[in-house]
Amino acid sequence: MILEGKRLLVTGVVNRRSIAFAIAERAQAEGAEVLLTSFGRMMRMTERAAKRLDPVPDVLELDVNDDAHLAALRSELESRWGKLDGAVHAIAFAPADALGGDFLATPRESAATAFETSAFSYKALAEAVAPLMSDGGGIVGLDFDATVAWPSYDWMGVSKAALESVNRYLARDLGPQGVRVNLVAAGPIGTAAASGISGFSELVKVWDEGAPLGWEVEDAAPVADAALFLLSDLSRAITGEIVHVDGGVHAIGAATPS
**Beta carbons within 10 angstroms of residue 186's beta carbon:** 23
Whether 123 is a known active-site residue: answer no
The CA distance from 20 to 31, in Å, is: 17
Q: Residue 24: which of 76, 91, 88 has the closest Cα?
A: 88
Query: Is the per-residue pLDDT at 51 higher than 90?
Result: yes
Residues near 75 by beta carbon (within 8 Å), at least 6 away in sequence = none
pLDDT per residue as tens digits for the range 151-177: 899 999 999 999 999 999 999 999 999
258, pLDDT greater than 60: no
Q: Nearest Cα to 89, choosing from 170, 146, 190, 10? A: 10
pLDDT at 199: 67
Name the active-site residue from 51, 122, 123, 160. 160
Q: What are phi and psi of 167, to 5 degrees?
A: -55, -45
Q: Does an H or E element contain 50, and which? A: helix 42-50
- Write the pLDDT tens digit of every residue in 77-115: 999 999 999 999 999 999 999 999 999 999 999 999 999
Among candidate residues 6, 51, 83, 153, the one labeled active-site is: 153
Residue range 201-237, pLDDT digits in tens: 777 888 889 999 999 999 999 999 999 999 999 999 9
96, 134, 143, 183, 185 from 146: Cα distances, Å: 19, 32, 8, 12, 9
Task: Give which of 16, 81, 88 is closest to 48, Cα–Cα.
Answer: 16
* Domains of the chain with CATH codes: 7-243 (3.40.50.720)
- Cα distance between residue 129 and residue 121, in whole Å: 12
Phi, then psi, of 181 in degrees rounded to 5: -135, 115
Whole-model pTM: value is 0.95
**Does 122 participate in catalysis according to the annotation?**
no
